[in-house]
Each structure stands twice: as structure tokens, then as C-alpha cells.
Amino acid sequence: MRVIPQNVQRLIDEFSRLPGIGPKTAQRLTFYLLRSSDKDLGDFGSAVLELKKDIKTCSTCSNIAESDPCHICDDPRREKTSICVVEEPLDVVAIERTGKFQGLYHVLGGVISPIEGVGPDELFIKELIERLKKEDVDEIVLATNPSIEGEATALYLQKLITPLNIRITRIARGLPVGGDLEYADEVTLSRAIEGRLDYN
Amino acid sequence: MRVIPQNVQRLIDEFSRLPGIGPKTAQRLTFYLLRSSDKDLGDFGSAVLELKKDIKTCSTCSNIAESDPCHICDDPRREKTSICVVEEPLDVVAIERTGKFQGLYHVLGGVISPIEGVGPDELFIKELIERLKKEDVDEIVLATNPSIEGEATALYLQKLITPLNIRITRIARGLPVGGDLEYADEVTLSRAIEGRLDYN
């Protein structure tokens, strides 16, 4: 005998499929929506269904966008000579929020991960190299995550780009601001010391 | 200039409105869905939109159900003389999962909370009292949460039901199984000692 009605269980199952949402959280979210107004429920449902509507992939940088080229590639004020390579569209959002980078982006669409069966051909790496050969680029900023896969992908890209005679930089690894030296892991602390900067 | 496309931001906002989902989690969930197949996205969206379809409130116990009376109230094998009072439909699910209660339920639809402006009239308390006067009930199990509001609501119900000459019990408060005496708070430990049971 079912304790939870079918349509309710169905949404619980859908929530459970999302990353980081366990069965208890899925239940809680579903029962919250069950108590919300029909309008709010409709808004949420149609936001899900229309998520991919009018969403394009920029044919230059592979970022998700509302237009092709995307508004960053299309912006005359951006420095065309600097390209920041990131794993995912969310990384672009994170870097844009800092306001510290005025160049263009290139979204790889993931990282090289043999365990998950993702090789270089699955990523937008060929497109990056073609772009570098065609455009007048002075600097490539490798901004993949400081994870094993991210570092390996950065290394792979570095080897691929080196023959093109372009300045290659990697975003700094070190202590997070507000972090505590005492509790930092060895690798992070090693990177922080290696990457030390001169006081000007 | 928008960094995140409008339809993507819209779903991020909808996720952010859910309890316990912060802006970062909302972003992560949305970008996960953006990468999922059109079919999976459609399944999720329609599960949201159809959540309340065919969902009724049982006119006897106020639980959410697919039929009225619900399948618990309608089940001839359940003990009709015992009613367990809970705050929310999810509490019914939790108790049913234990398999330790064979009686019927009564869902209050919340707890008395003056701060949130919820008085006894907002809850299905009148319906409970009418039910107790009409039906042949031997025991009321008060199973509201062991929070301040839950305890206050249980106390309120106890006073209301006492004149009806029905046995009233309250689910035990004490140490959670797997918990540690050393780390238990004083109130929980006090309840555990007060509620101690004889070895038979």
C-alpha cells in the first residue's frame, strides 16, 4: 500500500536525482511545494520547462548565452588579446563577479577525466587551439579547478599551447582569504609558498 | 549586462525560494539541469506542474491522499480505536515506516505558533475533537515534534481532550538511538531519565 500519493512520490524521485539532494531533502522540498500556492507551483514548473528556451552555445567561446556570439565575445570593450580557459559556464559567472578579468573566455565543457571516460576530444579543446591560431592572443589564463582533473587538464593545455608562443598563466593556488595557515593542507600551503609574490 | 541568461536566472531564483537551498546550490542545480537531456528536464517540469493533480485532503484525518477517505482511514485492518496526532503529512510517512503503529492518524496541518500567527483555529483541532466525540476512540497518541511549539501544542491538546475521558499518551522523548550520553543536552537527558522504563 502506498503511503505517499503517486504524483507526490514522482516529484520526490525527480528531486532525488539532482546532485547533492538526498531522499529526505527531496521529501522536504516536495512537501514544501505541496503547501505553496498554485501560482508559485506553476511558476516553478514552467521555469524548469523553459530553462533551455532561447539558450544557445556561443560558437566562439562555448559559453551558454542568449545570443551567438555571446554578449562577452560581442562586447567591444573586452580585451580580445586575453583568453581565460574555464571548465564550466558557472566558472565564467564566478570570474565575472570579481570584475578582475577584462578579456574573453573559453569554456571547455568539463575536464579530462579518464575515470569518467572524458578525453580531450569530448571537450572544446580543438576549438580553443583553432581560435588561438586564428586570433591575435597575447595571454591564455588557465582557470580550471585546483583538483587533480583540473590540474591535469591545465597541464595538457599548457603542452598543447606552448608551441604557439603565447604567454600562458595559471590562476594562483594558495590560502583562501579568511583561511587559517594552521589548518591548511600541505599541498595548498606548498602552492602558497611557491607562488609567493614580492611586495612592490 | 547580464552574465546569466534570463531563463537560467529564472530557475535559479525559483530554486532559491525553496527552504534550505541557498543561491550557490540553486545555481548548481540549475546548471546540472541545463546539461541534462530534454526528456529528463521535461519529466522534472511536468512532475512539478502535476504535483497537486489528483491530490485530495482526507476529510477524516486531513492527510494528503489520492482518495477521500484516505487509504489508511479506509483500511479495515487498522485499529479504529487509536488515533495518532501529528503535525504534517510527512510525519505520517515517518511513523508508517516504523510499522509500529496500527491505528489511524490525525494531521493538524502545523503547530500552534503565536510568533508565526498560527492559532488553534488555523489547525485541524476542531475536527479532531469532533472526531473524538463521534468515534469510539480508546487512545490518543500525541506525536507532535519535541520542539517548543510541538510541546505547547501537545499540552494544549491534552487539556482539550482530558474531559473526554480518553487515554492520552505522548511519544517518548529521550536519547536518539546511536546517540551519546556525554553529548546529550540537559533537557533531552532529563526527559530520558523521567521516561525510564522497567525491564520486564
Q: What is the DSSP string of B158-186?
A: HHHHGGG--EEEE---SPPTT--GGG--H
User: Residue A2 has what pLDDT?
Assistant: 67
Best of B49, B64, B116 to disrupt the A interface (most A CBs within 10 Å) is B49
Report how far apart, in Å, the C-alpha atoms of B33 and of each of B37, B38, B191 are.
8, 9, 46
Question: What are the structural domains, with CATH classification, of chain A?
Answer: 6-49 (1.10.8.420), 79-170 (3.40.1360.10)
The residue-averaged pLDDT of A37-53 equals 95
Report how far apart, in Å, the C-alpha atoms of B191 and of each of B5, B172, B175, B184, B194 are.
54, 8, 9, 11, 5
At A72-81, the pLDDT tens digits run: 999 999 999 9
Query: Comparing C-alpha atoms, which of B20, B21, B55, B40 is closest to residue A48?
Result: B40
Q: Measured between alpha carbons, how far is A57 from A63 in angstroms, rounded to an integer?
A: 6
What's the grid cell of residue A25? 531533502
The residue-averaged pLDDT of B133-138 equals 93
At B65-104, the pLDDT tens digits run: 999 999 999 999 999 999 999 999 999 999 998 989 999 9
Per the document, the length of chain B is 200
| Of A181-185, B65-69, B153-157, highest mean pLDDT | B153-157
> What is chain A's mean pLDDT, rounded?
92
| H or E element, residue B48 | helix B38-49
Q: Measured between alpha carbons, how far is A23 from B66 in angstroms, rounded to an integer?
A: 21
User: Residue B2 has what pLDDT?
Assistant: 67
Helices (H), A52-169: 89-98, 125-134, 148-161
Q: Measured between alpha carbons, how far is B188 from B182 in angstroms, rounded to an integer?
A: 12
The residue-averaged pLDDT of B163-192 equals 88
Which amino acid is located at B175 in the chain?
Answer: L
pLDDT of residue B200 exceeding 80 = no
pLDDT of residue A200 exceeding 80 = no
| Of A106-115, A186-195, B184-193, highest mean pLDDT | A106-115
At A69-113, the pLDDT tens digits run: 999 999 999 999 999 999 999 999 999 989 899 999 999 999 999
Report how far apart, in Å, the C-alpha atoms of A68 and of each of A137, B29, B139, B144, B184 are.
21, 24, 68, 56, 59
What part of A 36-75 touches B (C-beta under 8 Å)?
Answer: 38, 40-55, 64-66, 71, 75
Which of A73-85 are b and which e, b meaning 16 or more Cβ less than 10 Å from the residue's Cβ? beeeebeeebbbb
Best of A16, A17, A18 to disrupt the B interface (most B CBs within 10 Å) is A18
Q: Do A47 and B88 lie within an 8 Å CB cutoff?
A: no
> What is chain B's mean pLDDT, rounded?
92
A13 contact residues in B (CB cutoff 8 A): 47
Q: Measured between alpha carbons, how far is A163 from A165 in angstroms, rounded to an integer?
A: 5
Q: Do B45 and A45 lie within an 8 Å CB cutoff?
A: yes
Helix (H, G, I), strand (E, B) or coil at B106: strand
pLDDT of residue B179 exceeding 90 = no
What's the grid cell of residue B159? 487539556
Q: For chains A and B, what is the number of CB pairs under 8 angstroms?
A: 149
User: Residue A182 has what pLDDT?
Assistant: 86
Model confidence pTM above 0.90:
no
User: Residue A187 has what pLDDT?
Assistant: 87
Q: Do B52 and A97 lie within an 8 Å CB cutoff?
A: no
pLDDT-derived band of residue A181, with 50, 70 and 90 as boundaries?
A: confident
pLDDT of residue A3 exceeding 80 = no
User: Residue A196 has what pLDDT?
Assistant: 84
Helices (H), chain A: 6-16, 23-35, 38-49, 89-98, 125-134, 148-161, 186-194
Cβ of residue B130 closer than 8 Å to a chain A Cβ: no
At A110-165, the pLDDT tens digits run: 999 999 899 999 999 999 999 999 999 999 999 999 999 999 999 999 999 999 99
pLDDT of residue B139 exceeding 70 = yes
B25 contact residues in A (CB cutoff 8 A): 20
pLDDT of residue B181 exceeding 90 = no
pLDDT of residue B3 exceeding 80 = no
Per the document, the length of chain A is 200
pLDDT-derived band of residue B1, with 50, 70 and 90 as boundaries?
A: low
How many other CB atoms sit within 10 Å of the CB of residue B100? 7
